[in-house]
């Protein structure tokens, strides 16, 4: 039981895709303008991570080694297509806000990396927990970054003004602001890691 909890929590803290492994930074920079976008992208990526990890762990013994990566990409692309169609049908506003970054989950380093490094070498339960943990870790990182950016760049979170009269710094709504926030958070988490050891 302890090992299963460890498989889940490692993606949230110890191997967080954004703050530790520095993977998936392109969609992180692009969609972290608002918390709503971050939650939508996090859910989409988690769905793809879970689905692809489970299927890859089930079919890994039937895939020849020479065509392993193309097969993984086809499996991942299937789940990306499913989530993209769901977004188009049930949340067209979010679909337009996330834009090209949902289809690009197919080549996201987090998803392909977990398929290659973990799901193709482990059983169904461990692969499921790994995918879920990585997805939750990615989502939490997106929400933290977007909450900081939305508050500092627009003075709001979820379209609600938190501090009346607060003057936003519009740079945080731009890509340079995303880089600044991510850089400061990476530095902060590395500082905590060094102090802990």
The per-residue pLDDT for 111 is 92
The per-residue pLDDT for 126 is 94
The per-residue pLDDT for 57 is 95
Render pLDDT for 28-42 as a digit per residue (tens, 0 to 9): 888 999 999 999 999
Render pLDDT for 83-133 as a digit per residue (tens, 0 to 9): 999 999 999 999 999 999 999 998 888 999 899 999 999 999 999 999 999
Contact 91, 40 (CB under 8 A): yes
Residue 114: C-alpha distances to residues 40, 54, 61, 74 (Å): 21, 11, 17, 15
Q: What does residue 165 show for φ and ψ, rounded to 5 degrees?
A: 85, 0
Render pLDDT for 55-97 as a digit per residue (tens, 0 to 9): 999 999 999 999 999 999 999 999 999 999 999 999 999 999 9
The per-residue pLDDT for 23 is 87
pTM: 0.92
Q: Cα separation of 42 and 37, whole Å? A: 8
The per-residue pLDDT for 21 is 87
Domain ranges of the chain: 2-196
Q: What does residue 147 show for φ and ψ, rounded to 5 degrees?
A: -65, -45
Please give the average per-residue pLDDT across 18-28, as a whole number.
87
Q: Cα separation of 187 and 24, whole Å? A: 18
Higher local confidence (pLDDT), 79 or 193: 79
Dmax over CA atoms of the chain, in Å, equals 62
Render pLDDT for 135-192 as a digit per residue (tens, 0 to 9): 999 999 999 999 999 999 988 888 888 888 888 888 998 888 999 999 999 999 889 8
């Amino acid at each position: 039981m302890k090992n299963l909890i460890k498989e889940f929590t490692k993606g949230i803290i110890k191997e967080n895709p954004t703050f530790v492994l520095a993977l998936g930074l392109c969609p992180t920079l692009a969609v972290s303008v608002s918390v709503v976008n971050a939650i939508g992208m996090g859910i989409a990526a988690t769905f793809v991570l879970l689905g692809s990890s489970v299927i890859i762990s089930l079919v890994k013994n039937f895939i020849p080694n020479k065509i392993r990566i193309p097969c993984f990409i086809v499996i991942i692309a299937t789940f990306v297509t499913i989530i993209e169609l769901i977004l188009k049908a049930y949340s067209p506003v979010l679909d337009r806000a996330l834009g090209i970054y949902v289809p690009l989950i197919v080549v996201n380093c987090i998803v392909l990396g977990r398929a290659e490094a973990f799901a193709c070498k482990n059983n169904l339960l461990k692969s499921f927990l790994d995918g879920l943990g990585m997805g939750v870790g990615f989502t939490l990182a997106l929400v933290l970054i977007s909450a900081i950016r939305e508050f500092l760049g627009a003075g709001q979170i979820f379209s609600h003004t938190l501090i009346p009269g607060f003057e936003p710094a519009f740079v945080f709504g731009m890509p340079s602001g995303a880089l600044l926030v991510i850089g400061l958070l990476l530095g902060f988490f590395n500082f905590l890691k060094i102090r802990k050891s």
